[in-house]
Amino acid sequence: MSRAASSAAVGARPGLAALKERAARWLGRGAGSETLPIRDWVSVSNGQPARLLGFDQMMVCVVIALLALGLVMVYSTSIALPDDPRTARVAPTHHYLMVRHAFGLLIALGASLAVVQVPLRLWERWAPWLFVAALVLLVLVLIPHIGRASKGARRWIPLGFMSFQPSELAKLGIAMYAASYMVRKMEIKEHFTRAVAPMAAALAVIGVLLLAEPDMGAFIVIAAIAMGILFLGGVNGRMFLLSIAVLLGAFVSMIIASPWRAERILAFLSPWDPLYAQGKGYQLTHSLIALGRGEIFGQGLGSSVEKLHYLPEAHTDFLLAVIGEELGFVGVALVIAAFFWLTRRIFHIGRQAIALDRVFSGLLAQGIGIWMGGQAFINMGVNLGVLPTKGLTLPLMSYGGSAILMNCVALAIVLRVDIENRQLMRGGRA
């Protein structure tokens, strides 16, 4: 099919020309622009009639590939845990964590299939209540006999079949609340006290609750999601820079006021110093050793030495280091490329939704993109020694039931945004 014929066929669809005209006015580029973020979602092969694709199949394939590689690497990194008395209680058998991780994946995939059926208009209506539910759970996790403590942090609520981490729900909650807030307050986004102050208050409440656990890593991701949605929603640039400055000042103050956080920063700056190599810099030094051993093509799947009780939390925070040791630079590069492509694709879906005048859907999708891309960037930076050590997992891959569950639910919402975009492209209703 020629390009002219294809364009004529697409233009014949009722409502599509009007949608493109409206999107062009929204972006301020003119009706004849060729760079609109709109696709006709038509596949043509071997001269056969075109068929419409109902969802982004490539995105689903990338997500499934990351989940599958994560399952393999969780099994590889946890295989030696039963041999250590300190970790035998967590992993009594060599396949225990792999089975639990697979069980979490099944729950996450089942929840995703349910969530992708929910229209975005319902999420927009429920957004404030989901945010309130996240705040309530963040309070409950701090109550003794309700929240479970581990290694000095109280972050989990036991549910019997799994432990749920409320901070993961808070990431989705803040993304929905911020997107809904920007839609409701669009007309006052130039006024600082009326536009930014309520979001700042919500962030302050979440920050107090998360730092009481403590979980500064989750707070950094949540703050990035909220500030990113405010910026993408069109908040005045000067107000945005002022908000960023206030947040940075708050983080610096927390580091200065907390000796162990300050020591972690010093260990990051000089991890091989004998003063830190066996203390706060221990994980970083062994992560760098693992990556160095991997070289270009790695030592081979299952052949990591650092996972044998040298590198703590190899199945969670430092999964990428073991990937680097076993699969080498090639494996790490493929993981980085997959997350880069996924984040870019999520932002593209959000941009399409905004072009179609679906601002809540677009901002929510882009907020989820900030979540996935930002958290992956921080985790990779920590593993590679370019960021201070934080307790953040690698999305979709690290061991953790609630994290995998909320990652998959969030991506199912993005997939729903894409499905509704395509329905509008065909002249239907979202």
Amino acid residing at 1 = M
pLDDT of residue 324: 96
Looking at residue 9, the DSSP 8-state letter turns out to be H
Contact 304, 322 (CB under 8 A): yes
Angle between helices 16-27 and 319-355 (to 10 degrees): 110
Structure tokens at 330: 């090639």
Range of 300's domain?
55-117+270-425
Contact 103, 402 (CB under 8 A): no
Same domain, 314 and 192: no
Q: Which residue has 């996240």 as its token pair? A: 134
3-state secondary structure of 53: coil
In a domain, 13, yes or no: no
Same domain, 214 and 238: yes
CA distance 54 to 42: 10
The separation between CA 256 and the C-alpha centre of its own chain, rounded to angstroms, equals 28
Same domain, 192 and 227: yes
Looking at residue 215, the DSSP 8-state letter turns out to be -
CA distance 236 to 248: 19
CA distance 380 to 192: 35
Q: Which residues in 385-403 are b (16+ Cβ under 10 Å) and which e?
A: bebbbbbbbbbbbbbbbbb
Looking at residue 49, the DSSP 8-state letter turns out to be P
Q: What is the pLDDT along the chain (430 residues), one digit of tens a residue?
A: 444 444 444 344 444 455 445 555 544 444 444 444 444 444 444 444 444 457 889 999 999 999 999 999 999 998 888 887 777 777 788 788 889 999 999 999 999 999 999 999 999 999 999 999 999 999 999 988 888 877 777 888 888 778 899 999 999 999 999 999 888 876 655 565 666 777 888 888 898 898 888 888 899 999 999 989 988 887 766 777 777 787 888 778 777 777 777 777 878 888 888 888 788 888 899 999 999 999 999 999 999 999 988 988 899 999 999 999 999 999 999 999 999 999 999 999 999 999 999 999 999 999 999 999 999 999 999 999 998 888 789 999 999 889 999 999 999 999 999 999 998 887 766 5
Q: How many domains does the chain have?
A: 2
In a domain, 23, yes or no: no
Structure tokens at 49: 């009639």
pLDDT of residue 187: 64
pLDDT of residue 139: 93
214 cis-preceded (ω within 30 degrees of 0)? yes
pLDDT of residue 212: 85
End-of-domain residue from the set 197, 228, 257: 257
From the list 410, 342, 362, 370, the residue with the least C-alpha distance to 38 is 362
In a domain, 29, yes or no: no
Amino acid residing at 370 = I
Contact 56, 345 (CB under 8 A): yes
pLDDT of residue 22: 53
In a domain, 27, yes or no: no
Contacts of 352 (CB under 8 A, 6+ apart): 37, 38, 39, 362, 418, 421
Same domain, 151 and 283: no
pLDDT of residue 21: 58
Same domain, 286 and 392: yes
Burial class (CB in 10 A: 0-12, 13-18, 19+), 155: buried
Same domain, 83 and 192: no
Same domain, 141 and 106: no
CA distance 359 to 121: 11
Neighbours of 374 (CB within 10 A): 20
In a domain, 143, yes or no: yes
On the CB side of 376, CA atoms within 13 Å amount to 21
pLDDT of residue 207: 86
pLDDT of residue 408: 97
Same domain, 149 and 107: no
In a domain, 77, yes or no: yes
Contacts of 135 (CB under 8 A, 6+ apart): 170, 173, 205, 206, 209
Same domain, 113 and 153: no
End-of-domain residue from the set 230, 257, 284: 257
Burial class (CB in 10 A: 0-12, 13-18, 19+), 277: middle
Same domain, 298 and 312: yes
Q: Are strands 51-52 and 148-150 parallel, antiparallel or unpaired?
A: unpaired
In a domain, 45, yes or no: no
CA distance 367 to 343: 10
Same domain, 164 and 236: yes
Same domain, 243 and 353: no
End-of-domain residue from the set 226, 257, 288: 257
In a domain, 46, yes or no: no
